[in-house]
Structure 1
Amino acid sequence: MNPPRFIAPLSIVFLLCHCASTTSVKNHVPRPPEDVPAEVAEENRRTMALAKRDPAGSLGFALSSARAMENRIMAGDRSPATFNAYNYAVARAVDAIDKAGLDPWAAPVLVPGTGGAWRLRASLARPEPRLTPSNYRMISVDAFNVGGTYFKTLEKKDGVGAPVAVVVKHPDKSLKHTLSETTMYGTATVTISFQGDRADLVLHESLREDEVTLKGRTFPLAADYSTPLALLLDHQKVEKLGLVRLLDPERYADTARLTRLQLYDPERVPVLLVHGLDSTPATWTPMLNELRADPVIRKRCQFWVFSYPSGYPYPYSATLLRRQLDAIGRQFPGHKPVVMLGHSMGGDIARLMLTDSGDTLWRAYFGKPPEETVIPGKFRGQLEETLVFRHRQDISRTIFISTPHRGSEIAINSFGRLFSRLVRVPRLLADTRDALVNVITLDATALTLDRAPSSIDTLAPNNRFVKAIGKIPIAREEKYHSIIGDRGKGDTPHSSDGVVPYWSSHLDGALSEKIVPSGHSAHQNPQAIAEVRRILLLHLRDAP
């Protein structure tokens, strides 16, 4: 019995890219700490009793609990139980502020308490002129249980403060939008300090701060690096963009963008993550989760992602990335050189950032130099931008992971050819193809196109672009590394990750090459993540 017609094209999705991973986020009611003074236990009970029906009323009790525990900390009690009780009280105060819709950022809020009224005000630990804190919510993360294959380990740090996720109050939830700063679940920690009737709430960016000073004394700052990331993936449903952007890239053209996952810091090295076919930035979650747990990397790196519809031919996606890097350069002139990581087709895009093409690619298509090729104006600029480029001076190191530098035979087998036909080619590329066919008379060695190419076409070993770019060396000054999967068989150089064979992913001249026992999703392999960590620490050691 023959399988249904849709089975073949769907199977290629799973063959060409990583298996779907999941994120599980469930709400739960945080349990109040038990080892606290009787009066604090009573304040906690009243806080929870009022939490739903009168959140503003519960705020006073939460502040009273926090003050009592701060007093114990200031008296020298640094036990985990006391820190936890303080953090619990601060988290309940954050919940009350959020649910009651209070805005202590704009002006002090008068909060009735058991011993009188509190004057609650909020501020940022580090002033940030680009942010208006009143536009954001603070969500205490101890009210969530996180799991799933992306979060086998939750990266946290013990200390003082209530870890929170910071998110804009009115995000755009449309799936047509990918990760963006306006919907980002930022990673932060809240502390509240008391002086007389004043309650000073301070929001700390825990990816930039490891310590907090309360009343002249320094403590480790508590942090949760995983839960805000899980909330982002769960609420924004980013992973759902993978297949739809492959099949209909033009519809999701506005999702092609470079996004910063944290506030820009000119002193930190940007680490840019570029995903592969039928994928989104969500695929980097396991690596991002572990790398941000490293104190050196967390202190000296800032993470960016490039998201794009993977149905585009990857040379065109590389053009989009160059435009985004140019925009970043204009917005943040003098930023530190970028370390770039590319998985699968994302590695092919990264490869084009390291290359001086000259007119080699142009000649491969047209059989003559650009100045001798007659092409209508509006199409010529697009083609020159895609085929004629120089290596980026703003990229200092690149890590290729499971990258088909010489293509993958899966792209040319029967499934690959069928699936390639399912990709809806954007009008811009289709119109460019039609203009070339109608205007240019090509010789036998030059371009022949029966249709505009899709991303899968440009992963084929016999593709004209793939063969031509393979003959162009990477710029001499570029530093690059390779991480390659072999499915655990250990038969390199005859190995494969199931999609990309070793002969395609190997690059002469790499500063290091790590073979890991993994399928094509090598960027999620623990050994590969450890290798990326090693390379980043090496880079940071040598960087100014």
Structure 2
Amino acid sequence: MAAGETATETAAGLLATQCSRAFFDLVAQGGPIGVTMGRSYLGGIAIRVEFRGVPDSLAKSVYLEPADQVPMDPLDGVRYHHAGFGVPLVAFALPCSDRPICRLYPPEGVFRPVTMWLETPSDTGSHDDTPVLVLQNPVLRPEHVAGTNRYELAEDVSAPTAQLLERTRLKRLAWWGMIGGAEVGKRSGLFLLDDYDPNKTPIIMIHGVAGSPLIWARLSNAIMGDPELHRRYQIWHIVYQSNAPLLVERYRVQHYIDNAWSVLDPDGHAPARQGVVLIGHSMGGVIARLLCAQSTPEVWNAAFTEPMDSLHADATDLVTLKNVFQFKPYPGVDEIIFMAAPQRGSPSAEGLLGRLVGLLAWRHIEEMTGLMRIVAENPKAIQPALQSIFQTGHITSITSLRPDEPVTLADEKLMPAAGVRYDTIAGVLPGVKPPGDGYVPLSSALLPGSTTTLIVHSDHKVPNRPEAIAAVLKILREHDSSHDVVSNATP
């Protein structure tokens, strides 16, 4: 492989790759294999395993499976990969628990792309001739050097995501979460789809009611499959229990983001804190808008008739109430992409399903328990139109999406702060009256002041549409350019 002749170099690289795959298939016998850094035995053969640029999230022991054996069904058959030197594998590690960052990894485990090959020991003066099985990170280290020759590594960035999606239980848990199921609540938070990089711009994706990060599978795959975008961005997924009123959900999501930053960048100086992009689907889009907005007295006055300072209540309950109703634009965000977001509510929230969910979900909202205590101690401080539902606690994510809900009418006027660019993507189905995607009317999804607006032929699952994905990629590339201009102009 270090030969000076091109034909010899190419043939040697191909032969090394073929032999490496043959060895893997021999020891794996059709299944995954487990390896640990250092000396070990595979199929009775002594081997030394060497990690090169492999992220800390995988620790020192991983399970390996050929990337080409991972089905792409969860990603609609779209696989981003390219040929080259070495064997593309999926490296899987069980969830860790020994570091704070462990709680930012998915409970299913950590799945990352690696490229594998066999080579002879590099230390020619050593008497140890044990073959070396190399596992290299093809994203951070995309080449292997032999002599003066550089070999581009084979890579498959889609297989790890597909493996994660195959193992997750989120699809079933999301519906239970909407009606108060505890399992989604237990695993709520912000999760890293890729390893944290203090110099890469975060894209924080927020799902909607009864949703989960599964709605972002195809979009996430497309971003990670674009080498330039993957070099610039890191994807973070929010998981939240979508049963609570809108302002409570906004408070929860802010809490998850705050917790993530406290782990990833406790000093608050990472370049990644600037230029953050939010992408929200359905109610997640409304949450994204409110995360970038300044609360107003009108929002408080829509629910209460007296100032907060005059209320009599437990101090902890008052702190939660203040955090829910009084907020500022989240720092560092300068781009939002709304996808099928009911910015002015949805008539579907008034339908049979909406009423059924409202009846089931309210008993499982922790924040509402504190609000009910405040209402009990201050009955005259509540707006008459809301007294009955506040006293019983019958207010949920669904009720807060009703177009005539008083607090919703107030908070829908809250717009992203100056300097935050936002784009709107909405869906329309033929024959739907009023025009919309079957859940969100077009009149509710379109937001004045959007930098770009795209209407696609789609049901409510707008993030799955190829046209919508292409539009997001274009927006991200333009965001790259505008952010570079600002960064380069800063002394």
> TM-score normalised by the shorter chain: which range applies?
0.7 to 0.9
Q: In structure 2, what is the Cα distance between the partners aligned to 1:170 and 1:431?
A: 33
For residue 293 of structure 2, what is the aligned residue in structure 1?
Answer: 355
Q: Does 1:235 align with 2:135?
A: no
Q: Is the contact made by 1:358 and 1:390 (CA closer than 8 Å) also made in structure 2?
A: no
SS of the aligned residue for 1:122 comes to strand
Deviations 1:197-238 (A, max 9, x none): 243333223343433334442122211122221211212333
Q: In structure 2, what is the Cα distance between the partners aligned to 1:310 and 1:111?
A: 46
Which amino acid letter does the alignment assign opposite residue 166 of structure 1? A
Q: Does 1:523 align with 2:453?
A: no
After superposition, where does 1:352-501 map in structure 2 within 5 Å?
Answer: 352-426=290-364, 428-440=366-378, 441-442=380-381, 447-450=386-389, 451-452=392-393, 453-487=395-429, 495-501=435-441
Alignment RMSD (CA, Å): 3.3
Q: In structure 2, what is the Cα distance between the partners aligned to 1:454 and 1:78?
A: 64
For residue 198 of structure 2, what is the aligned residue in structure 1?
Answer: 266
Q: In structure 2, what is the Cα distance between the partners aligned to 1:99 and 1:515?
A: 44
Q: Does 1:137 align with 2:63?
A: yes
Moved more, 520-529 or 363-372: 363-372
Which amino acid letter does the alignment assign opposite residue 505 of structure 1? A
Unaligned runs of 5+ in 1: 1-66
Deviations 1:253-279 (A, max 9, x none): 221110111111112111111111111
**Using a 3 Å threshold, how does the CA distance of structure 1 residues 221 and 398 change in structure 2: closer, same or farther?**
same
After superposition, where does 1:233-382 map in structure 2 within 5 Å?
Answer: 233-331=165-263, 332=265, 333=268, 334-336=270-272, 337=274, 338-382=276-320
Q: In structure 1, what is the Cα distance between the partners aligned to 2:89 and 2:74?
A: 22
Count of residue correspondences: 463
**Using a 3 Å threshold, how does the CA distance of structure 1 residues 112 and 294 change in structure 2: closer, same or farther?**
closer
Which amino acid letter does the alignment assign opposite residue 89 of structure 1? A
SS of the aligned residue for 1:228 comes to helix
Q: In structure 2, what is the Cα distance between the partners aligned to 1:466 and 1:486?
A: 24
Moved more, 411-420 or 511-520: 411-420
Q: Is the contact made by 1:178 and 1:307 (CA closer than 8 Å) also made in structure 2?
A: no
For residue 22 of structure 1, what is the aligned residue in structure 2?
Answer: none
Give the Å deviation of 1:71: 13
**Using a 3 Å threshold, how does the CA distance of structure 1 residues 309 and 111 change in structure 2: closer, same or farther?**
closer
Q: Does 1:541 align with 2:467?
A: no
Give the Å deviation of 1:186: 1.8
**Using a 3 Å threshold, how does the CA distance of structure 1 residues 424 and 162 change in structure 2: closer, same or farther?**
farther
**Using a 3 Å threshold, how does the CA distance of structure 1 residues 74 and 183 change in structure 2: closer, same or farther?**
farther
TM-score by length of 2: 0.85
Q: In structure 1, what is the Cα distance between the partners aligned to 2:113 and 2:32?
A: 20
Give the Å deviation of 1:466: 1.3
Q: Is the contact made by 2:340 and 2:427 (CA closer than 8 Å) also made in structure 1?
A: yes
Q: Is the contact made by 2:178 and 2:241 (CA closer than 8 Å) also made in structure 1?
A: yes
Give the Å deviation of 1:99: 6.5
SS of the aligned residue for 2:381 comes to coil
Q: In structure 2, what is the Cα distance between the partners aligned to 1:458 and 1:125?
A: 50
Q: In structure 1, what is the Cα distance between the partners aligned to 2:367 and 2:75?
A: 36
After superposition, where does 1:168-247 map in structure 2 within 5 Å?
Answer: 168-169=93-94, 180=106, 183-195=109-121, 197-247=129-179
For residue 92 of structure 1, what is the aligned residue in structure 2?
Answer: 25
Give the Å deviation of 1:159: 1.1
SS of the aligned residue for 1:75 comes to helix
Q: Is the contact made by 1:401 and 1:484 (CA closer than 8 Å) also made in structure 2?
A: yes
Q: In structure 2, what is the Cα distance between the partners aligned to 1:214 and 1:415?
A: 63
Q: In structure 1, what is the Cα distance between the partners aligned to 2:292 and 2:375?
A: 31
Q: Is the contact made by 1:94 and 1:139 (CA closer than 8 Å) also made in structure 2?
A: no
Q: Is the contact made by 2:424 and 2:450 (CA closer than 8 Å) also made in structure 1?
A: yes
Deviations 1:48-101 (A, max 9, x none): xxxxxxxxxxxxxxxxxxx9x999999322599657624523643773799675
Q: In structure 2, what is the Cα distance between the partners aligned to 1:94 and 1:395?
A: 48
Q: Does 1:157 align with 2:95?
A: no
Q: In structure 2, what is the Cα distance between the partners aligned to 1:266 and 1:188?
A: 21
SS of the aligned residue for 1:437 comes to helix
SS of the aligned residue for 2:424 comes to strand
Q: In structure 2, what is the Cα distance between the partners aligned to 1:132 and 1:231?
A: 15
For residue 53 of structure 1, what is the aligned residue in structure 2?
Answer: none
**Using a 3 Å threshold, how does the CA distance of structure 1 residues 255 and 314 change in structure 2: closer, same or farther?**
farther
Give the Å deviation of 1:437: 3.0
Which amino acid letter does the alignment assign opposite residue 112 of structure 2? G
Identity of aligned residues (%): 23
Give the Å deviation of 1:303: 0.8
For residue 108 of structure 1, what is the aligned residue in structure 2?
Answer: 39
Q: Is the contact made by 2:33 and 2:63 (CA closer than 8 Å) also made in structure 1?
A: no
Q: In structure 1, what is the Cα distance between the partners aligned to 2:23 and 2:296?
A: 60
Deviations 1:248-304 (A, max 9, x none): 244532211101111111121111111111111112111112221111111111111
Deviations 1:141-187 (A, max 9, x none): 2334x143632222211111222222224789xxxx99617712222
Deviations 1:410-430 (A, max 9, x none): 101233223321325325234
4+ long deviations beyond 6 Å = 69-74, 96-100, 110-113
Q: In structure 2, what is the Cα distance between the partners aligned to 1:212 and 1:350?
A: 42
Deviations 1:430-477 (A, max 9, x none): 422431331111365564133321111111111122111112232112
Q: Is the contact made by 2:54 and 2:136 (CA closer than 8 Å) also made in structure 1?
A: no
**Using a 3 Å threshold, how does the CA distance of structure 1 residues 100 and 509 change in structure 2: closer, same or farther?**
closer
